Amino acid sequence: MEVLIDSDIVECYRYPPNEDARDLPSQFYGLTEHGVKVLYEYNYLRGLPVARALYENTRLSEKAQRHRDAPRPELPDSVADALSIEDTESVDFDRVETYIRERKDNTHSVDDQIAVAEAFSEAGIGPDHEGITRSEMLDVLDIELSYQSRTVLDHLVDIGILSRTAPPGPDVFAISERRDEIVNGHVTEEAEENVEALIAHIDDELQPMALSEDAAEFDGVESDMSAPSVALADGAGRTVRSILAAEFGVEPEQVTGHLQTGDPVSRLNTAVEAIESSEEVTKSEDYGQIVFVRPAYRYRLTERTMSML
């Protein structure tokens, strides 16, 4: 806040303390006129309707509600005007509803389609808005759907009520769980590094067994003790190596070689899934899957819809 105040983006507005309500705040932080100009310049205020909808649907504690409803100082007119949202109740939505029913009345989710279109309208998510994703729609807009949201959105896109756009960038993002980073362009290298870390985990897990054998031989214990120690190391469900041997259908001593052949991404992801599914071993943080994710589409009302409002 100090940085924003020093930059004349935000100012501390004060309201005379109320002696009868000592727990209510008397200092409030709000935008300055210069701050509003900066937000306009970067086009940040276009998300105001969505932010307002999110704020109004946030669950607050009793104390937080009292603070929200507390008397507060007047903002400069230019700031108050910039943060106000035009009343959408006067918008005539009947034409849009009729348009949807004429084209989708034979679908079970037609009522949901109308509810979604109206929620977009009330939130001001029009052609100039950057749009919202399907998950953002469910989190931000105050609507309850009886049918799958994906189906509802598909119907609205089909008849031109909503537009659907993919964000700029690759069609698919490859994400390394180990690094928690996008690794497009060097997926194979990242997978191979993860495989080597997995193999190191296997070796580390078996190392205590080898040390025990060495100690036994040093103390003069019979050499045939080495045979059961291998069985112990690769007993049913007892080591990462034994679990992967069962998963890949190979002998335990062949697991390392198997991991180093074929598609490293496929080998890695299959191995990690098998380890994570087991309750008898714990996956190391030194390796993880390579996850492929498609960017979420963004939705907004079309110009055709706006012309009907």
Q: What is the pLDDT of residue 88?
A: 46
Q: What is the pLDDT of residue 208?
A: 61
**Secondary structure of 76-90 as H, E, C letters:** CHHHHHHHCCCCCCC
Mean pLDDT of 164-183: 90
Mean pLDDT of 184-212: 87
Which domains does the chain show, CATH number per domain? 2-83 (1.10.10.10), 94-169+297-308 (1.10.10), 174-208+234-293 (no CATH)
Is residue 27 helix, strand or coil? Answer: strand
In sequence order, which ranges of 42-186 are alpha helices (DSSP H)?
48-56, 62-68, 77-83, 94-104, 110-122, 134-140, 149-158
Q: What is the pLDDT of residue 248?
A: 95
Q: What is the pLDDT of residue 153?
A: 97
Q: What is the pLDDT of residue 236?
A: 44
pLDDT tens-place string over residues 74-128: 888 888 877 776 554 446 799 999 999 999 999 999 999 999 999 999 999 999 9
Mean pLDDT of 242-250: 94
Rounded Cα distance between 7 and 34, Å, is: 9
Check whether 224 has a pLDDT greater than 60: no
Mean pLDDT of 225-240: 52
Angle subtended by helix axes 110-122 and 149-158, to nearest 10:
80
Mean pLDDT of 56-81: 78
Mean pLDDT of 135-140: 88
Check whether 291 has a pLDDT greater than 90: yes
| DSSP E strand stretches across the chain | 10-14, 27-31, 162-165, 173-176, 181-182, 290-293, 298-301
| Least confident interval from 54-58, 180-184, 263-267, 286-290 | 54-58
Query: The tokens of 172 are what?
Result: 């698919």
Query: The tokens of 27 are what?
Result: 């200092």
Q: Yes or no: say if 160 and 96 are a contact pair by the CB < 8 Å rule.
A: no
In this prediction the pTM is 0.49
Check whether 271 has a pLDDT greater than 90: yes
| Least confident interval from 56-65, 174-183, 249-258 | 56-65
Mean pLDDT of 233-262: 86
Q: What is the pLDDT of residue 226?
A: 42
56 vs 147, higher pLDDT: 147
